[in-house]
Structure 1
Amino acid sequence: MIEYRFIFQGGPALRFQVELDRGAVDPVESGPHADWARLCTHQCATCPLKPAASPYCPAAVDLERIVEQFRGVLSFESVRVEVDTPQRSYAKTCDAQTGLRSLMGLVMATGACPWFRQLRALAGTHLPFASIEETLFRVAGSYLIQQYYVATGGGEPDFGMVKLFELYSALWEVNQTFKRRLEMACMSDANLNAIGALSSISQGISISLQDQLQGLKEQFAGHPIGLPVASPGPVPSPAQELRGISPEALPGQPKSPVRSP
């Protein structure tokens, strides 16, 4: 479980707990729900769900309480966000939309949305307030680990990450549609800007995946993974590396005695 706490100056703290291995929320048992959470309200064009079987959008049901709690919060409002994960704790004073973006991303990745649940593997190593570079590193690393298991299982791995590009292109569209859904529910811009930030990250990864990865390349340059190459001989001392100067001529070194011919 991961817990988020939003502590506003002069106001009550908002607390949200997210179970990482939770199942889909039963909309009937957890209802009633707002009209904006209905599946047919701005349903994503690529959504495989049918209103007859799934009357409510899984992501909307998951986020409904959060959206309601942040109705009157402005995106630029300062807040202290504290996050407790099973491994460690994080804390940051930031604008509301930054903390909300991290929370929404975690909730959607651990929910029942057919698109967002493909990011579930990232939830186990959730990193609050992640930058685009940190997100790219984790996304690409997680995907390549998955492809390793595909390869060792006899499947055809996608080490070129073509399907990852396609996934984030689709997620950008999903985020854009979900933002229109939230416009029906919001009285302030914090929720909308948080979803907008998630959409921008998805777009950034999908449009310039190769360029972004190229930017990370220098972190690996000159540091290949494997057994270190054996040195061809003894490592010279700093004094011996000074060409043209004998060790005896260095300051502090004893001079050899002069011998008579």
Structure 2
Amino acid sequence: MTIEYVFRLDDGQAFNFEVDTERTYQARFDKVEHPFWTKLDFQKCTLCPLSSEEFRHCPAALDAKKITETFRAMLSYVEVTLEVRTPERTYVKRTDAQTGLRALFGLVMATSGCPILSRLKGLARTHLPFSTMEETIFRTVGAYLIQQFLVQKSGGEPDWELRGLNLLYEQLQEVNRCFKGRIDAASEQDANMNALGSLIYLAMGVSFSLEAQLAEIQHLTISPAPLEK
């Protein structure tokens, strides 16, 4: 599935990005030269399981290279008209560069070859740009619980307490924090930097007091029909 992002600036410039959400990591791209900030050992994530002997570059950084270089000199508050096209629908929003980049970085990183970030890849199929914290929690927890239901049906031990989900988002905070170091080094102005900062905040928001946040959206859940005894 391809999702297209089009940033239109008031001066007439337009920047187009097509994201193949089902792409696979291409080892041949790792063998050619890329900017210094994409090197695996540069600002390497503390949780990264990849070996620099096998990977010269960070897979997520390679995928984010075009975005980062395009907006490296842009300020966060620059107004853009952002169009996001999925196979099912098109979203259009007047927003600032930082907000648009947060959505695009999040999509590209979650569908990259990073073994940690790619755990969110399943959410790309129902990608929702500009999602609120409430929407993010609803989609994330819902997707996780579907997996746990299927784990139980196949005879496994489900995680109904969401411990694994909490741990994942704690890891995402750390990965995003380290990845921001790469983006900071590659950028002259703050649009890219603040977009990554927003992703860190989003991951914190999901993992912080998740149970309390779920209680706040209880009114959005579905009640079952009475079961026969």
Secondary structure of the structure 1 residue equivalent to 2:181: helix
Letter in 2 for 1:90: Y
Cα distance, 1:27 vs structure 2: 5.2
Counterpart position of 1:166? 167
Please list the CA deviations of residues 187-216 of structure 1 after superposition, one character each: whole Å capped at 9, or x if unmatched: 110101111101101011112211211111
The equivalent residue for 2:55 is 54
**Cα offset for 1:227?**
5.1
Question: How far apart are the structure 2 equivalents of 1:114 and 1:228?
Answer: 42
Give the alignment's Cα RMSD to 1 decimal. 1.6
| In structure 2, distance between residues paired with 1:171 and 1:211 | 20
Q: 2:110 aligned with 1:109, yes or no? A: yes
Q: CA deviation at 1:224?
A: 1.8
Question: Which residue pairs with 1:256 in the alignment?
Answer: none
Tell me, yes or no, if the aligned pair for 1:27 and 1:33 is still in contact at 8 Å: no
Aligned partners of 1:33, 1:219: CA distance in 2, in Å? 46
* Structure 1 residue runs without a partner (length 5+): 230-261
C-alpha contact 1:97 1:193 (8 A) present in aligned 2: yes
Conservation of the 8 A alpha-carbon contact between 2:4 and 2:17: yes
Q: C-alpha separation between the residues in 1 aligned to 2:86 and 2:161? A: 32
Indicate if the aligned counterparts of 1:25 and 1:61 stay in contact, CA closer than 8 A: no
1:32: how far off? 2.4
Task: Specify the SS of the correspondent of 2:126.
Answer: coil
Q: By percentage of residues, which structure has more helix?
A: 2
Deviation at 1:25, TM superposition (A): 3.3
CA distance in 2, matches of 1:212, 1:106: 24
Change in CA separation of 1:158 and 1:80 when aligned onto 2, cut-off 3 Å:
same
1:177 aligned partner: 178
The runs of 4+ residues in structure 1 deviating greater than 6 Å are none
Return closer, same or farther for 1:152/1:107 CA change in 2, 3 Å cut-off. Answer: same
Matches of 1:43 and 1:115 in 2, distance apart?
Answer: 13
**Cα distance in 1 between the residues matched to 2:41 and 2:196:** 19
Aligned partners of 1:61 and 1:176: how far apart in 2? 17
Structure with max Cα Rg? 1
Scaled by the length of structure 1, the TM-score of the pair is 0.84
Task: Report the alpha carbon displacement of residue 94 of structure 1 after superposing the two structures with TM.
Answer: 0.2
Structure 2 residue runs of 5 or longer lacking an equivalent are: none
SS of residue matched to 2:17? strand
1:229-259, Cα deviation, whole Å (9 max, x unpaired): 9xxxxxxxxxxxxxxxxxxxxxxxxxxxxxx
* 1:212-223 correspondence to structure 2 within 5 Å: 212-220=213-221
Match of 1:123 in 2: 124
Partner of 1:258: none
Summarize deviations over 1:6-42 as a string: whole Å, max 9, x none.
Answer: 0000131000000111001335368421000000001
3-state SS of the aligned residue for 1:73? Answer: coil
1:1-261 pair list within 5 angstroms: 1-26=2-27, 28=29, 31-220=32-221, 224-226=223-225
In structure 1, what is the Cα distance between the partners aligned to 2:28 and 2:213?
39
Aligned length: 227
Tell me the secondary structure at the aligned position of residue 218 of structure 1: helix
Query: Any conservation in 2 of the 1:5–1:16 contact (CA below 8 Å)?
Result: yes
In 1, the alpha carbon distance for the partners of 2:117 and 2:29 equals: 22
Compute the TM-score of the two structures, normalised by the length of structure 2: 0.95
Q: For 1:143 and 1:186, locate their aligned partners in 2 and report how far apart those are by CA, in whole Å.
A: 35
Partner Cα distance (1:29, 1:193) in 2: 27
SS in 2 for 1:184: helix
Matched position secondary structure for 1:111:
coil
* Identical residues among aligned pairs (%): 44
- Determine which structure has greater relative contact order: mean sequence separation of CA pairs < 8 Å that are 6+ residues apart, divided by chain length: 2
What is the identity, as a one-letter code, of the residue corresponding to 1:226? A
